C-alpha cells in the first residue's frame, strides 16, 4: 500500500496516519519526505484489512490518495520508488546514466598476476575490479579460489589502482569476512535463492550485486532482491547473466529482454554479464554492445592476461588488448545514446 499525503500537510497529520497503521500491527516506511510525504506499507495483509485501511485512512483530511502494490515485490517495485536507485562505487555511480564496467579474472590465481592485470585494467576504463576468492565450481576437484589470501590480494589491488573491488560470498557465515575486504558483495547464480545468505548481506552496509539464477524467472529474481531490501540494505544491483535453455552453442542464453523488463518493474539498477552468458570470448563484444543498447546500467566482463591457461573460465575471458577494443566500441555506442562509459581521463 502506498499512501500519498497532501502537499504541505502538517507533521502531526503524517504522524496520525502512521499511528493508525501501527495500531493494526503494520510498520509504515517513509518513501518520500519533504512537502510531498509518501508512506509505504509492505507487510502482507488480507483483502479485508486492506479495504478497511483504505476506508479508514482515506477518510483522513491530509491523505490525498492510496494505491495498492500490483506485485509481490514491494520495496523493489517502481511503485515504491519511481526514480532509479543510484549506487556509488568509488568514483563511479551505477544507476545515474553512466555505464560502469566491472572487469577482471574469474578467479584470483596469484598475487603477481592479479596486481599486474589490475594495473592494466584501470587506465582502460574499468570502474570496478572483479575476481573470485571463493569459487563455487561444478566439480569439487576444480580450482576453488585462494580464500582470504585472495581477498587480501584484491584489497592490495584497490590500494594500487584506487578502484573498488567486487567478489562473491558463498555462505552467510562468510559475509563478515568478505565484507571486511570487498566494496561490493556478489551473490552468484547458484545462491540467488539462498535466503539466509540474502538476509546476511542485507544486514551489511555494502552494495550487493545479485545474479539471476540460471533457471530463475524475473519475478523470482525480484523477490530474492526483496529479501535484501527488507533487511534495510537498499544498495542492490540486479545482474542478468544468461539463463539455461536447450541451446548448446553458448554457455547460457542471454535474456536481453530482461533489461527493459526489469527497468519497468524495479528501481534497482541492472547489470549484464556477457561473459557468463556467452561462454565464448568472441561473442562477448556483441553481447556487451547489445546490453548497453538495451539500457543496462553496468557490465561485468571477464579479463585474463593468459586466458588459455586460466584456472577458471578462460574460454570466455578477454585479453587486456581485446578488452581495450571492446571499451572503445562501448564508449562510442554509449556516447551516441547520450550516455557515458566513465572512461578514465
Write down the pLDDT at residue 244.
95
Give the pLDDT score at 68.
76
DSSP state at residue 149: H
pLDDT at 345: 38
Looking at the DSSP assignment, which residues form a beta bridge with residue 129?
103, 165
Q: CA-CA distance, 227 to 223, in Å (whole number)?
A: 7
Yes or no: say if 151 and 181 are a contact pair by the CB < 8 Å rule: yes
Give the residue extent of every domain in the chain: 2-67, 87-336
Q: Grid coordinates representing 139? A: 566439480
For 309, which DSSP code?
A: G
For 25, other C-beta atoms within 10 Å of its C-beta total 9
Q: Quick check: 135 and 313 in contact, CB under 8 A?
A: no
**What is the third-level CATH fold of 2-67?**
Alpha-Beta Plaits (3.30.70)
Task: Tell me, rounded to whole angstroms, the distance of Cα 120 from its chain centroid.
Answer: 25
Residue given cell 577458471 in the structure block: 312
pLDDT tens-digit profile, the chain (345 residues): 888 889 888 889 999 999 999 998 898 887 666 667 888 887 778 888 888 888 999 999 899 888 776 667 788 998 888 899 999 999 999 999 999 999 999 999 999 999 999 999 999 999 999 999 987 766 775 667 789 999 999 999 999 999 999 999 999 999 999 999 999 999 999 999 999 999 999 999 999 999 999 999 999 999 999 999 988 899 999 999 999 999 999 999 999 999 999 999 999 999 999 999 999 999 999 999 999 999 999 999 999 999 999 998 999 999 999 999 999 999 999 999 999 986 643
DSSP string, 200-233: HHHTSSS-EEEEPPTT--HHHHHHHHHHHHHTT-
Q: What is the CA radius of gyration of the chain?
A: 22
- At residue 2, the pLDDT reads 82
Domain 87-336 adopts which CATH fold? TIM Barrel (3.20.20)
Cα within 13 Å of Cα(46), Cβ side: 5
The position carrying cell 536481453 is 256
pTM check: above 0.75: yes
Residue with cell string 551489511: 204
pLDDT for the residue 344: 46
CA atoms within 13 A on the CB side of 253: 10
Cβ contact 190:215 at 8 Å: no
Q: What's residue 19's pLDDT?
A: 92
| Dihedral angle sign, alpha carbons of residues 284, 289, 290, 291 | positive
Contacts of 3 (CB under 8 A, 6+ apart): 17, 28, 38, 39, 40, 41, 57, 63, 65, 66
Amino acid at each position: 500500500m502506498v499512501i500519498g499525503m497532501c502537499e504541505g500537510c502538517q507533521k502531526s497529520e503524517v504522524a496520525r496516519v502512521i499511528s493508525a497503521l501501527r495500531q493494526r500491527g503494520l510498520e509504515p516506511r517513509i518513501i518520500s519526505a519533504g512537502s510531498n510525504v509518501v508512506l509505504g506499507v509492505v507487510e502482507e495483509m488480507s483483502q479485508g484489512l486492506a479495504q478497511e485501511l483504505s476506508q479508514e485512512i482515506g477518510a483522513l483530511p491530509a491523505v490525498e490518495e492510496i494505491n495498492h502494490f500490483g506485485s509481490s515485490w514491494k520495496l523493489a517495485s517502481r511503485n515504491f520508488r519511481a526514480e532509479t536507485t543510484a549506487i556509488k562505487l568509488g568514483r563511479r555511480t551505477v544507476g545515474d546514466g553512466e555505464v560502469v564496467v566491472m572487469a577482471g579474472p574469474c578467479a584470483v590465481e596469484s598475487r603477481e598476476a592479479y596486481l599486474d592485470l589490475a594495473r592494466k585494467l584501470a587506465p582502460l576504463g574499468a570502474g570496478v575490479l572483479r575476481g573470485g576468492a571463493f569459487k563455487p565450481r561444478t566439480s569439487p576437484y576444480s580450482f576453488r579460489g585462494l580464500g582470504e589470501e585472495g581477498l587480501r590480494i584484491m584489497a592490495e589491488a584497490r590500494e594500487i589502482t584506487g578502484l573498488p573491488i567486487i567478489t562473491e560470498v558463498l555462505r552467510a557465515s562468510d559475509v563478515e569476512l568478505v565484507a571486511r575486504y570487498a566494496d561490493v558483495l556478489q551473490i552468484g547464480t547458484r545462491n540467488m535463492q539462498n535466503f539466509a545468505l540474502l538476509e546476511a548481506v542485507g544486514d551489511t552496509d555494502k552494495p550487493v550485486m545479485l545474479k539471476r539464477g540460471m533457471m530463475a524467472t524475473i519475478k523470482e529474481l525480484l523477490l530474492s532482491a526483496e529479501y535484501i531490501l527488507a533487511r534495510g540494505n537498499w544498495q542492490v544491483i540486479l545482474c542478468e547473466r544468461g539463463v539455461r535453455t536447450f541451446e548448446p552453442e553458448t554457455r547460457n542464453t542471454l535474456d536481453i529482454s530482461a533489461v527493459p523488463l526489469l527497468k519497468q518493474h524495479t528501481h534497482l539498477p541492472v547489470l549484464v554479464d556477457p561473459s557468463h552468458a556467452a561462454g565464448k570470448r568472441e561473442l562477448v563484444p556483441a553481447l556487451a554492445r547489445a546490453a548497453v543498447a538495451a539500457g543496462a546500467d553496468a557490465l561485468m566482463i571477464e579479463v585474463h592476461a593468459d586466458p588459455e591457461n586460466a584456472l577458471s573460465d578462460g574460454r570466455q575471458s578477454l585479453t587486456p588488448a581485446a578488452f581495450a577494443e571492446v571499451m572503445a566500441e562501448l564508449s562510442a555506442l554509449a556516447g551516441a545514446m547520450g550516455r557515458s562509459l566513465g572512461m578514465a581521463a
